[in-house]
């Protein structure tokens, strides 16, 4: 099990993420949430903790790094894409937009002799059609988000295409250098689509083209993409066997900071009505059962810090 923690005074975002995970826990392709509690942290500060399913296989991002820049085999990508699509489909059917799909937010959880990809990190997730400002990782933002600040379900499909492309090639969807900022990517996203290598199968290329349709109204939904040959025409191979990542840090930070566009679009705050409703739903129950333990507390300067502390496999 893993524990994600935040100082109580800065924990509203984490509380909302916990509430979303509880809402979505019926899907086997979204990371599970086991509960919450409040503990006494450093300096007698209250700390809010959320207990999450432990992804002992690391993330898809870790797996791509292990490939040494060559990407994963296409058969493996097809199977992973099916699982990710099912998670996205469920999130959308429940009326939400993830807003930050990327390889690092797809976790690999042991199941049988292999790993099942599950969508995690719902810290930026919003309700569909809500008027919260845009958020996410620049590399995976859609044209309508960059140009018109529209971020709805089709935007997740664009990001999914970027994830699949990176799984297949081992490279970012856009030509960039380290430390890329949004203004560096904006011209590329605003006027083009990610390059699809010719060496991919025809089914892979067609799948990606359907994800990278610039008009969001013409982009296929997750439900329709689940019927695409890239996903359906796969031999019965069972679960793909992969080795766990070589090193899993005991503390995996997951910080949603207001930055200079280096990693995230600045977060839009929840409306006062949303925040008040969520506090009424979560805060009383969270304060009922504090335990004598000290979770890891990050020392970064983020406005709403949180951290993962791995307790062991659930």
Question: Quick one: pLDDT at residue 157?
Answer: 99
> Domain count of the chain?
2
| CB contact set of 277 (below 8 Å; sequence gap of 6+) | none
Taking 50 as the pLDDT cut, the residues of the chain under it are 236-305, 312-314
In a domain, 262, yes or no: no
Q: Are residues 11 and 95 in the same domain?
A: no
Q: Do 35 and 106 reside in the same domain of the chain?
A: no
What tokens does 87 get? 């998670």
**Are the C-beta atoms of 89 and 27 separated by less than 8 Å?**
no
pLDDT of residue 175: 84
For every residue of 273-287, DSSP letters joined together read HHHHHHHHHHHHHHT
Domain assignment of residue 237, yes or no: no
**Within this chain, do residues 74 and 143 fall inside the same structural domain, yes or no?**
yes
Q: Is 69 exposed, middle or buried (0-12, 13-18, 19+ CB in 10 A)?
A: exposed
239 inside domain:
no
Task: Tell me, yes or no, whether 184 and 70 share the same domain.
Answer: yes
Supply the pTM of this predicted model. Answer: 0.76
Q: Are residues 149 and 102 in the same domain?
A: yes
Q: What is the pLDDT of residue 308?
A: 52
- 92 and 167 within one domain: yes
Number of helices followed by number of strands (H, E) in the chain: 10, 9
**Residues 82 and 219 both lie in one domain:** yes
> Is 111 found in the same domain as 8?
no
Q: Which domain holds residue 31?
A: 2-54+245-255+270-310
Q: What is the CATH number of the domain that holds 165?
A: 1.10.510.10
- Per-residue pLDDT at 183: 80
Point out the residues that are catalytic.
100
Assigned domain for 260 exists: no
Beta strands, E only, the chain: 2-7, 33-40, 46-52, 96-97, 106-111, 114-119, 126-127, 251-253, 307-310
In this structure, are 280 and 298 located in the same domain?
yes
Question: Does residue 289 sit within a domain?
Answer: yes
pLDDT in tens, 105-153: 999 999 887 899 999 999 999 999 998 788 899 999 999 999 999 999 9
**Which of these, 26, 24, 4, 2, lies nearest to 15 by C-alpha position?**
4
Tell me whether residue 249 is exposed, middle or buried, using C-beta atoms within 10 angstroms of its C-beta: 0 to 12, 13 to 18, 19 or more: exposed
Task: Judge whether 191 lies within some domain.
Answer: yes
129 and 144 assigned to the same domain: yes
Residues 29 and 113 reside in one and the same domain: no
pLDDT of residue 133: 82
């Amino acid at each position: 099990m893993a524990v994600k923690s935040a100082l109580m005074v800065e924990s509203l975002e984490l509380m909302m993420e916990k509430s979303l995970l509880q809402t979505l826990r019926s899907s086997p392709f979204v990371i599970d949430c086991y509960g919450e509690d409040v503990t006494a942290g450093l300096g007698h500060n209250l700390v809010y903790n959320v207990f999450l399913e432990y992804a002992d296989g690391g993330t898809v991002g870790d797996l791509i790094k292990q490939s040494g820049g060559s990407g994963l085999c296409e058969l493996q990508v097809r199977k992973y894409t099916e699982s990710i699509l099912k998670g996205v489909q469920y999130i959308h059917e429940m009326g939400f937009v993830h807003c930050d799909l990327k390889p690092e937010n797809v976790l690999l959880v042991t199941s049988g002799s292999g790993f099942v990809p599950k969508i995690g990190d719902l810290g930026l997730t919003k309700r569909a059609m809500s008027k919260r400002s845009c958020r996410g990782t620049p590399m995976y933002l859609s044209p309508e988000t960059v140009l018109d600040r529209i971020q709805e379900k089709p935007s997740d499909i664009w990001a999914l295409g970027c994830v699949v492309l990176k799984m297949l090639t081992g490279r970012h969807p856009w030509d960039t250098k380290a430390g890329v900022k949004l203004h560096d990517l904006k011209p590329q996203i605003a006027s083009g689509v990610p390059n699809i290598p010719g060496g991919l199968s025809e089914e892979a290329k067609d799948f990606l083209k359907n994800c990278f349709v610039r008009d969001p109204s013409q982009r296929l939904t997750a439900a329709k993409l689940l019927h695409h040959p890239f996903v359906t025409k796969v031999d019965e191979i069972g679960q793909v066997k992969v080795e766990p990542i070589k090193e899993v840090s005991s503390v995996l930070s997951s910080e949603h900071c207001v930055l200079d566009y280096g990693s995230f679009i600045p977060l839009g705050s929840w409306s006062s009505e949303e925040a008040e409703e969520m506090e009424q739903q979560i805060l009383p129950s969270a304060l009922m059962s504090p335990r004598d333990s000290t979770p890891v507390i990050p020392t970064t300067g983020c406005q709403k810090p949180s951290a993962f502390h791995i307790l062991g496999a659930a």
